[in-house]
Amino acid sequence: MARTPGLCEGRVVVVTGAGRGLGRAHALAFAAEGARVVVNDLGVGLDGAGPSGSPAGEVVAEILAAGGSAVAHGGDIATAEGAASLIACAVDTYGRLDTLVNNAGFLRDRMLVNLDEDDWDAVMRVHLKGHFLPLKHAAAWWRAESKAGREAAARVVNTSSGAGLLGSVGQGNYSAAKAGIVGLTLVAAAEMGRYGVQVNAIAPAARTRMTERTFAETMAAPEAGAFDAMAPENVSPLVVWLGAAASAGVTGRVFETEGGRITVMEGWRPGPTADRGARWTPAEAGETAAKLLAASEPPLPVYGSR
């Protein structure tokens, strides 16, 4: 009996940080829907230090064993050379690129007064620069294809976080990087639409190496056979849809996803406003701001602040 074509049949998908956790779940889910997958992972530890095995190759082996098609890439996507070689790996191996999922990252959590400059730079590098460089090189390839008359239904899925949307105590570096990814997503969606590229972001919550300690402290493990709301595999269906041609018309959006829940996040937009048509005095500005704040919706609390 012939296999039913999947949602991403024949598409070429690159997933960064795909050796474990969310990235691994995404890579396997794309392959299950017929995609050919480039599995990128540098194989470093939770804090980005030192190699820790060959997780990319292990995921490729899983995909091949299930009858899919995949290739491993072990380059550092936070370098120009590594990001360029990632896109080249997809094009040289499969002749095209359809979807880029930026997922790679690690944590170096500290309260701000204890946060070293190296910890700030390392987290910014892997999350923010590690999104920008693959996006830049993929965009250049898609632009060239478009100019050659071969416009594709290209997709980019970036990975932000609730920490980037609301902030998270003890994660100033991570929160800032993830907020920057939202800004990058909005700009990329506006700039790249002319080349047939849609760019969206997710803010996922799942149990991975980066979060397992938090969930172990705050949530009981699911009973045998019960729905595991924190399994990373719960996030991947939305990522696969966003990475598929079926998501046509959806761009510049941020989705929060956790367990069986999907939420469209609505970002900054004008609230209560006052305009006197002339300069305020400091006292007048303060009085007016207080009135506007009283008429506005209160912000949601920062994670870990209550």
The string of pLDDT tens digits covering residues 58-109 is 999 999 999 999 999 999 999 999 999 999 999 999 999 999 999 999 889 8
Q: What is the pTM of this model?
A: 0.90
Q: How many angstroms separate the Cα of 232 from the Cα of each of 3, 25, 133, 171, 260?
A: 26, 6, 25, 21, 11
Residue written as tokens 């829940």?
261
State pLDDT tens for residues 248-278.
Answer: 999 999 999 999 999 999 999 999 999 999 9
Q: What is the pLDDT of residue 297?
A: 93
Q: Is the pLDDT of residue 212 over 60?
A: no
State pLDDT tens for residues 194-207.
Answer: 999 999 999 999 88
Q: Is the pLDDT of residue 214 over 80?
A: no
Amino acid identity, residue 1? M
Mean local confidence (pLDDT), 1-22: 90
Q: What is the pLDDT of residue 305?
A: 86
Do residues 295 and 272 make contact, with C-beta atoms less than 8 angstroms apart? yes
Rounded mean pLDDT of the chain?
Answer: 91
Q: What is the pLDDT of residue 152?
A: 87
Domain 12-265 architecture? 3-Layer(aba) Sandwich (3.40)
In the chain, the N- to C-terminal Cα span, in Å, equals 56
Q: Which residue has the higher pLDDT, 145 or 226?
A: 145
Q: Are strands 197-205 and 261-265 parallel, antiparallel or unpaired?
A: unpaired
Q: How far apart are CA 63 and CA 27, in angstroms?
A: 8
Q: What are the catalytic residues? A: 161, 174, 178
Q: How far apart are CA 14 and CA 98, in angstroms?
A: 8
Q: Are strands 69-73 and 254-258 parallel, antiparallel or unpaired?
A: unpaired
Among 99, 180, 195, 162, smallest CA distance to 303 is for 162
Phi, psi (rounded to 5 degrees) for 292: -65, -40
Which of 43-47, 121-125, 257-261, 300-304 bottoms out in mean pLDDT, i.e. has the lowest?
Answer: 43-47
Identify the DSSP state of 268. -
